[in-house]
């Protein structure tokens, strides 16, 4: 069943915005006027995806840079633990343990929702 969520003017080109719809936390993404709807929580460690970046229909999580194709929900990459040029991490046991946990956490695909636009309003199929 389609539920009306937002006006198309609410989401800038290239932008994302989160909504709560019938108890589900979802994100709407505007890829050049084509809208995608998907679960708000990253399939890796649950970070808020709307706080990440969108490049077309590829969304990058703000926490560990996991990327998702929001057209399909497919996880395209695993987590980035360190960035190029970043100094070596501390070598204490706690830091090693945290980095191992992050690297070992499974990355699941995210759920996507069909989107319908009518009269400038965005609806999603829950």
CATH number of residue 100's parent domain? 2.102.10.10
Q: What is the number of domains present in the chain?
A: 1
Angle at 6 between CA 42 and CA 71, to 5 degrees: 40
Burial 36-47, CB ≥16 within 10 A → b, else e: bbbbbbbbbbeb
Q: pLDDT tens per residue, the chain (126 residues)? A: 999 999 999 999 999 999 999 999 999 999 999 999 999 998 887 889 999 999 999 999 998 889 999 999 999 987 766 555 556 666 677 767 767 776 666 788 999 999 999 999 999 999
**Cβ atoms of 50 and 16 closer than 8 Å:** yes
Q: Structural domain of residue 84, as residue ranges?
A: 2-125
- Residue in the block written with tokens 């890829």: 31
């Amino acid at each position: 069943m389609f539920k009306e969520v937002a006006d198309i003017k609410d989401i800038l080109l290239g932008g994302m915005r989160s909504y709560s719809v019938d108890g589900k936390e979802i994100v709407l993404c505007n890829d050049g006027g084509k809208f995608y709807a998907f679960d708000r929580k990253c399939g890796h460690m649950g970070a808020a995806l709307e706080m990440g970046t969108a490049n077309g229909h590829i969304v990058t999580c703000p926490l560990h840079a996991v990327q998702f194709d929001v057209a399909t929900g497919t996880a395209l990459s695993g987590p980035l633990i360190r960035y190029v040029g970043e100094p070596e991490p501390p070598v204490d046991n706690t830091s090693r343990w945290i980095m191992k946990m992050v690297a070992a956490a499974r990355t699941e695909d995210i759920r996507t929702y069909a989107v319908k636009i009518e009269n400038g309003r965005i609806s999603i199929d829950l």
